[in-house]
Structure 1
Amino acid sequence: MPSTTLLTGLCIGQLATGALASLAGQVLLTANGPVQGVPAFNSSPQAVGTYNNVTLANLANWQDVAVWKGIPYAASTAGNNRWRPPQNRTSWNTTLKASSFGAGCPTSPGESATTSEDCLNLNIWSVANSSSDKLPVIFWTHPAGGSGADALFDGGGMAAQGVVFVNYNHRDGAFGWLALPELAEEMLAENGVNSSGNWGMLDQYAALRWVHANIAIFGGDPDRITVVGQSAGSAAVYHAVNAPHSLVPEGTIAGAIAESGIRDPRDPLAASLAESYNNMTYSLQLGQSFLQQNNATTVAELRKIPLASLTDTSSSPGSGGGFRPTLDYYAMPDTYANLLAKAPSHAVPLMTGNTRDESGAVFGLNLTLSEYEADMLAQYGSYNLSTKALAAYPASNDTQAAAAYNAHWSDTSKVSSWGFAAGWRKTTAAPIYTYFWDHAPPGQDQGAHHMSEINYVFNNLYKTDLPWQPTDAFIAQRMSAYWANFARTGDPSGGANSSTLPTWVPTTNATVVMHVGDGWGNIPIADQAQIQLITDYFEQQTPF
């Protein structure tokens, strides 16, 4: 059993003026102008403890980590730039002191002062000694409602792994996904493309191009950029993998990691979770409703309305049927199923997976046996699969019913990831790796919930106030090593520390998945009867 010694030294104070990281304090010249970063830490953020008699000391090189906050990668999206592709930022001549996060993008009209339409900025953490180090780069897209300033997405721990870490802001909600015929006409006149509705996606591509063009001065390798994201961020990863070369030039990305996202296109959840989107007809209807709600008849009138005065009562951003990406056959070049059926624009190594207590599975679920049977009948009855479903996931009392219900949904996620991988392998030789995360962070009651792996992947336990244990520090070291290895080599097991990590092999026809969190190594995605049930169910669905 691991030691129960508590982790100490988890808090960070104000930025120091003492010992500087190698690039902190230096003036670096980007394509837009000079910037100057600061040390990421002024004292050790180490998570110290013992696990299996091994002393853990995370971020031993914390003094070398520099950060640049709030670097603009495009112009303000306010006024005439609302619902336009990101515009070039005017260059600056005086040094930008990049010591404070920039504003986040609004997701709903009239929200708090912590957001602004001048929000297209990014943050960079680097442990490079010089601009010639060529460290691998992780380009992180946050989930819906997040921003680059969120503590959960702090990149200091990943930078300490020898990776340049970048996160950024992009438009969301009505600001990111509004589609209108007038906007399409404007796009056609100004950019030669008859499309609207994917402004947030165009932001993502612009930020990625900026990073590719500028990351070398921060010690990053522009030829080793791995796009990474969780939930809605995982959809952004998949969009980047399939983006046309006119928006993401060939060679821009070297790898991709989609956390809690991409699934078998026959899985009904694919149409409602991260990778979901609206067709253009519905997006235009939603846009017309937004226009009417704001008593406007033209886009010009909408652009003149102050941010605080805009209203949106028709939908909740990111919810089913609300503002979300649009299938425009430009930024999103085809349907989800069709994209998987043909080779991706960027055939790079890909990693994807899910957590135990998400996508239908609920930690601590209370469910009676009769409710469970009714749920299974509702889902499978019309497909003549309910008898097979109850046989594959049997229960004879309420406790067993809750466990069977959750196991069924967790297995669905594993089978769905495996099904996506099977489709991926038909069109490209680029390897795909899948995982299943089941560790519940301490001090909370949601289990291994949606987003629960992020602190561990980024090795930034120091940024979240939970009663971390040495076990958590050990898991964070291992998870961040896998992600850093993947960024470095395209193989989560490949790297200088590979001898200390359980081998993670690419997904093949074998019905197994990499278990990470409370255990390590290949596990079955389900038993054969369960796999057959879920596969039979998928085969009767219309691919998304």
Structure 2
Amino acid sequence: MFLATARLGGIVAFASLAKGALYNQVISTKYGDVQGYPAFNGSTQGIDNWQDITVWKGIPYAASTAVSNRFKPPQPVSAWNTTMYAKDFGPVCPATLGEVGDHTLSEDCLSLNIWTAANSTDAKLPVAIWSYPAGSTSGDALFDGGGMADKGVVHVTYNYRNGALGWLAHPWLSAEMSASYGTNSSGNWAVLDQQAAVKWIHENIAAFGGDPDQITVMGQSAGSAATYHIVNSPLVKGLIKGAIIQSGVRYPKDPLCSSLAENYGTLDAALAKGSSYVSGLNATSLEELRALPLSAFGTTASPPGQGNDSFGAVLDHYALPTTYMESLLQGAANDVPIMTGNTKDESGASYGLNISASTYLSDLNTTYESWANDFLAAYGGANSSAAVSAAYNAQWSDRSAVGTWLWSQLWATSSQQPVYNYFWDHAPPGQTQGAYHESEINYVLNNLYGTDLPWTADDYAIAEKMNAYWVNFIKTGDPNGGNLTRWEQTGAEQIVQRVGNGWGAMPLTHVELFEEWFGNLTTVY
């Protein structure tokens, strides 16, 4: 456990600036005392209340996952007796060996970070829990919570296991889970970490000025999958009041469900993969598997095709209780308002694409098979490279937007809670990927200050609007308010809210074509 005795010298200098800020006092959690510190050391563009914002980094929400706790649900953290000076981000959960940025890899990695501008532990501010995308960590500057805290939200990020250590299923582990937890399944340790973080936050966030009865979970890509798993899970039923799922959700018959962030496999397949992997490690018992050094789980020690990157979520009917289709039709465990959407240049669409007509036609035939001519007729087949590249990108962007809209129609079959769909089309400056996957995050979190891009006045104005929609939703379950362009709930009308380079309702195209194509596919997630 990463604890240190409080050092208050650097905090005293701020006392005259914000006498009520929480970095001026020790906070008591159910597991021990923590001392935060000022999130900013001076005025910052886009931040109004910089002197009031406190951050705590590296607070453990569960015990170390090493040795006897490896391949187990997260175990309760032991209480500490001295004050923890929460100045540094905790270690990164390992998926591959080495170091990630300035953070060391360790199996003692289940920690979280909290930002708030509350000046009282009784403030009862709304709470947002951010789940990061793949290949990231809770300490990444892209997810810095100071911009959300500035707008009256207690913002929390956290680490969770990944790779084999986060997802391995095996008959030994299933037997242990059956004896200890009553479920004959294994894997999904990462999902259980995510849900344990929600439980810890619900239990302790009031001490940081947050309202445990007003928690919104949010995330992007793999973090959106984490968010969706929380929405669907009976293990955290009743602990959240809203969810923001960024890149995202899609119609459960879309084949992309098998490969993008929200994908999962069957338990039988996961057990077979896990058995092969463990055999490659030459472990002959669960005790031996847990006694192996961390280095054994690097990708170099993995059998061909069975490295850390090959592991993922498992439909185990425990951490993942049902298929996505079943959850939509029967009702999610957490029936809450949803905000969800996509970016223009992701999930098959690539900004600056330059392909030939033959490549375009080949892709249509491979993707849509007997429906290829229908999509060719819908999107055009001009011979110029620019035209076919635009058509290629358009059908991928539409597929994401329409698929998310169709998901929203299914959500409405069992829920009266609103869904708000968006489509992000702004390209951040200083890069050549367009409105790429993850490109909306800085704007949503109002933290342009944390990323080194040549931001313009337009970017700060866009961030102000984007963040306002998100903060409104976190506070009320509705993104509307103030002088923002009206954002309609998703309903029967085939529209989505455009955000970024423009604001307001944007019509969807070729909805019926995608709906008919999806309807003829047999695999359902």
State if a TM-score over 0.5 links the two structures.
Answer: yes
Mapping for residues 290-329 of structure 1, pairs under 5 Å? 290-310=277-297, 311-315=301-305, 322-329=310-317
In structure 2, how many angstroms separate the alpha carbons of the residues matched to 1:262 and 1:516? 18
**1:534 aligned partner:** 514
- Secondary structure of 1:269's counterpart equals helix
Whether 1:229 aligns to 2:258 is no
Deviation at 1:19, TM superposition (A): 1.9
Q: 2:338 aligns with which of 350, 372, 381?
A: 350
The 10-residue stretch of structure 1 (224-233 or 280-289) with the greater mean CA deviation from structure 2: 280-289
**1:503 aligned partner:** 486
- Secondary structure of 1:225's counterpart equals strand
**1:487 aligned partner:** 474
The C-alpha deviation readout for 1:343-376, integer Å capped at 9, x for no partner, is 1111000111000000110111011112212221
In structure 2, how many angstroms separate the alpha carbons of the residues matched to 1:371 and 1:204? 41
Contact preservation (8 Å) 1:442, 1:467? yes
**1:198 aligned partner:** 188
Whether 1:543 aligns to 2:524 is yes
Q: 2:104 aligns with which of 114, 125, 148?
A: 114
In structure 1, how many angstroms separate the alpha carbons of the residues matched to 2:466 and 2:268? 42
Deviation at 1:525, TM superposition (A): 1.4
- Secondary structure of 1:427's counterpart equals coil
Q: 2:79 aligns with which of 63, 77, 91?
A: 91
- Secondary structure of 1:166's counterpart equals strand
The C-alpha deviation readout for 1:240-266, integer Å capped at 9, x for no partner, is 11101xx2142x100000000211101
Identity of aligned residues (%): 53
Please provide the CA RMSD for this pair: 1.6
Counterpart of 2:182, as a letter, is G
Contact preservation (8 Å) 1:415, 1:531? yes
In structure 2, how many angstroms separate the alpha carbons of the residues matched to 1:17 and 1:468? 33
Contact preservation (8 Å) 1:135, 1:163? yes
Contact preservation (8 Å) 2:229, 2:320? yes
In structure 2, how many angstroms separate the alpha carbons of the residues matched to 1:326 and 1:263? 18
Contact preservation (8 Å) 1:262, 1:352? yes
Q: 1:183 aligns with which of 173, 180, 200?
A: 173
Contact preservation (8 Å) 1:261, 1:273? no
Contact preservation (8 Å) 1:111, 1:308? no
**1:387 aligned partner:** 373
Whether 1:378 aligns to 2:366 is yes
Deviation at 1:507, TM superposition (A): 0.1
**2:14 aligned partner:** 19
Q: 1:157 aligns with which of 129, 147, 163?
A: 147
Counterpart of 1:543, as a letter, is V
**2:320 aligned partner:** 332
Which residues of structure 2 form unaligned runs of 5+? Answer: 1-9
In structure 1, how many angstroms separate the alpha carbons of the residues matched to 2:72 and 2:369? 47
Change in 2 beyond 3 A, CA 1:306/1:506: same
Contact preservation (8 Å) 1:108, 1:312? no
Counterpart of 1:512, as a letter, is I
The C-alpha deviation readout for 1:66-97, integer Å capped at 9, x for no partner, is 00000000100001100011111110111000
Change in 2 beyond 3 A, CA 1:278/1:108: farther
* TM-score normalised per structure 2: 0.94
Counterpart of 2:316, as a letter, is D
Counterpart of 1:367, as a letter, is I
**1:460 aligned partner:** 447
**2:5 aligned partner:** none
Deviation at 1:468, TM superposition (A): 0.3
Whether 1:267 aligns to 2:254 is yes
In structure 1, how many angstroms separate the alpha carbons of the residues matched to 2:180 and 2:358? 59
Counterpart of 1:188, as a letter, is S
Counterpart of 2:346, as a letter, is E
* TM-score normalised per structure 1: 0.91
Deviation at 1:315, TM superposition (A): 4.3
In structure 2, how many angstroms separate the alpha carbons of the residues matched to 1:368 and 1:145? 33
The C-alpha deviation readout for 1:26-62, integer Å capped at 9, x for no partner, is 101000000000000001121xxxxxxxxxxx11111
In structure 1, how many angstroms separate the alpha carbons of the residues matched to 2:229 and 2:456? 37
**1:68 aligned partner:** 56
Deviation at 1:445, TM superposition (A): 0.7
- Secondary structure of 1:513's counterpart equals strand
The C-alpha deviation readout for 1:239-294, integer Å capped at 9, x for no partner, is 111101xx2142x1000000002111011111211110111111111111211121
**2:34 aligned partner:** 35
In structure 1, how many angstroms separate the alpha carbons of the residues matched to 2:439 and 2:499? 12
- Secondary structure of 1:500's counterpart equals coil
Which residues of structure 1 form unaligned runs of 5+? Answer: 1-14, 47-57
Contact preservation (8 Å) 1:72, 1:121? yes
In structure 2, how many angstroms separate the alpha carbons of the residues matched to 1:243 and 1:434? 22
- Secondary structure of 1:28's counterpart equals strand
Mapping for residues 350-429 of structure 1, pairs under 5 Å? 350-382=338-370, 385-396=371-382, 397-429=384-416
Change in 2 beyond 3 A, CA 1:154/1:64: same
The 10-residue stretch of structure 1 (149-158 or 16-25) with the greater mean CA deviation from structure 2: 16-25
Deviation at 1:190, TM superposition (A): 1.7
**2:201 aligned partner:** 211
In structure 2, how many angstroms separate the alpha carbons of the residues matched to 1:324 and 1:309? 19
Q: 1:133 aligns with which of 117, 123, 144?
A: 123
Change in 2 beyond 3 A, CA 1:318/1:351: farther
Contact preservation (8 Å) 1:103, 1:116? yes
